[in-house]
Amino acid sequence: MPEPTADFTATLRTALAGADTADARALWRALGAGGVLVALCPDGGTQPDPRRLATLLTELDARCPLGVALSICVQVATVLPLLSEPATGPVAGPVAETVADLVRGETTVALAVTDAGASGSDLLDATTRAKLGDDAVTLDGRKEWITNATTCDAALVLARHREPRHFTSFCWLLVPRSAPGVTVEPAGRAFAGSGVGHLRFDGVALEPNALVGRPGRALAGFARQVGVERLAGALWSRAICRRLMTGLGDWLRARPAADGTLWDHPAVRERYARCLVALRQLDALCAPLLDGPPGPPSTATGMVLKVAAAETVETIAAEAVHLRGADAFRDGGEAALRTEAAMFGIAGGATGTMLAGLADHADDLLGSRP
C-alpha cells in the first residue's frame, strides 16, 4: 500500500525545514537524511511515484532557485532510476555503493549525455568514446551543459563503445569526478545553484566495474527513462505556472489604475484568463499520469508533455512579464525567471526535435480511424 501523499508531504516538509535551499548539495543531503528519497519510490521500487514527484517539485519550486530544483530533479527522475534499475543489468560493486549513498543524500551524481562532438538532439553521433578492455576501461571525450557537473562526486556518462551509428553502440560509465583526466568548467552564471558545466575526459582509466549495466543497452534505457524526466518537467513547470499566475493575480488586484485596479480592466482579465486556460490544459495532460503507476509514460506521451510544458511556461511567463511591466525586472522577478524557464524547451529534448518525433506517432495519438 503506497504511503498516502499527506504523509509524504509531512516527511518532505520536515526534511526541508532548516535546510539551505540555495545549496543543491546541502538540500540533497537533507532530502536523503530525512528519508524523502526512499519514500519517493513506493514499495521499495526504483521509479518515483508521480504524485510524490509532483509534491516534491512543487515544494522545491516554492523554496529554491530554479537551478537548485533542476539539480534535484535530474537526480530523482533520471540518475537514481538509471543506476538502480535492474533492467540495466546486475547492480553491484561501486554502482551499488553509489546508489546506497545517493538515496542517503551522501553523494551527488551528474547525468552526462549531451556531447560536445554532436548536437544534443542527435545522440547517435556522440563522439565521447569508451575503450572496453578485460582489465580496464578508458574514456575520452567531452560533455556539455551538464547539470551538477561542478558539484558532483561522480557522473553517469553515456559513451560510445562501438563505431556503428546504432542505438546498441553505447554504454554507461560511472566516473568519479576525482579520477585523473577528468576536468570540469562552469557553463556560466545562468541557473545559479545547478552546478551546470562542461566535463572533459582525457584518457580516464577506470576499473571494468565502472560499467553500469550491459554495454549496448544504454541508449534504449535512457530513451525509456527520459519519459520520467519529461513527466517531472511537466509537473514542475505546472508548479511554476501556478505560482506565476497566483502572484500575477494578487499583483493585478493590488495595482491601482484610474478606475480601480488593473484587475478591473477587461483586456487585462482576458489576457490573464488565456493563461488560466493554458495552465488548465497542462493540468489536464498531467492528471491521468498522476494516478498512474510509477515509471515512464509512452514515448509519444512523454514528447507531448515536453512540448506542452515548454510552451505553457513560456506563454505564462511572457504574459507575467508583460502585464507586470517594469516590476518584472526587480531582483528575482518574472523577467529573470522567464529567461531560465526557456530551458523547459531545451534541456532533455528541444521542442523542435520533439515535434519532429511526434509526427511519427500521429496514428497513435489520433487513435484508430473511423
Ligand X SMILES: Cc1cc2nc3c(=O)[nH]c(=O)nc-3n(C[C@H](O)[C@H](O)[C@H](O)COP(=O)(O)OP(=O)(O)OC[C@H]3O[C@@H](n4cnc5c(N)ncnc54)[C@H](O)[C@@H]3O)c2cc1C
Footprint on this chain of ligand X (rule: CB under 6 A):
74, 111-114, 119-121, 145-147, 191, 196, 343, 346-353, 356
Of the pair 48, 120, the CB lying nearest ligand X is at: 120
Min. distance of Cβ 168 from ligand X in angstroms? 20
* Count of positions (residues) in the chain: 370
Least distance CB 119 / ligand X (angstroms): 3
Residues 227 and 229: their CA atoms lie apart, in Å, by 5
**Of 57 and 196, CB closest to ligand X:** 196
To the nearest whole angstrom, how small is the minimum distance from the Cβ of residue 314 to ligand X? 13
> Which is closer to ligand X, CB of 16 or CB of 158?
158
Q: Which residues of 153-162 are buried (b: 16+ CB within 10 A; e: fewer)?
A: bbbbbbbbbe
C-alpha cell at 332: 528575482
Round the CA-based radius of gyration of the chain to a whole number and report it. Answer: 21
- Nearer of residues 268 and 336 to ligand X, judged by Cβ: 336
C-beta of residue 251 within 8 angstroms of C-beta of residue 261: no
Nearer to ligand X, 41 or 343 (CB): 343
Q: Minimum Å distance from CB 171 to ligand X? A: 15
**CA–CA distance, 360 with 193 (Å, rounded to integer):** 37
The answer to whether residues 275 and 247 touch, using CB atoms and an 8 Å cutoff, is no
Nearest CA-CA partner of 272 in 302, 239, 307, 241: 241
Residues 323 and 272: beta-carbon distance below 8 Å: yes
Q: Give me the phi and psi of 257, to 5 degrees please.
A: -130, 170
Nearer to ligand X, 37 or 111 (CB): 111
Give the number of other Cβ atoms within 10 Å of residue 77's Cβ.
30
Q: Which residue is nearest to ligand X (CB)?
A: 120
Residue from 313, 307, 69, 79 nearest 191 by CA: 69
Q: How far is the CB of 128 from ligand X (least distance, A)?
A: 11
CB of 367 to ligand X, least distance (A): 25
Distance in Å, CB of 245 to ligand X, minimum? 23
Nearer to ligand X, 254 or 356 (CB): 356
Convert 174-192 to b/e letters by CB count within 10 Å (16 or more is b).
Answer: bbbbeeeebebeebeeebe
Q: Which is nearer to ligand X, 108 or 312 (CB)?
A: 108
Contact 320, 367 (CB under 8 A): no
Quote the CA–CA distance of 272 and 319 in Å, as a whole number: 8
What sign results for the dihedral spanned by CA atoms 46, 198, 351, 221?
negative
Q: C-beta of 174: minimal distance to ligand X in Å?
A: 15
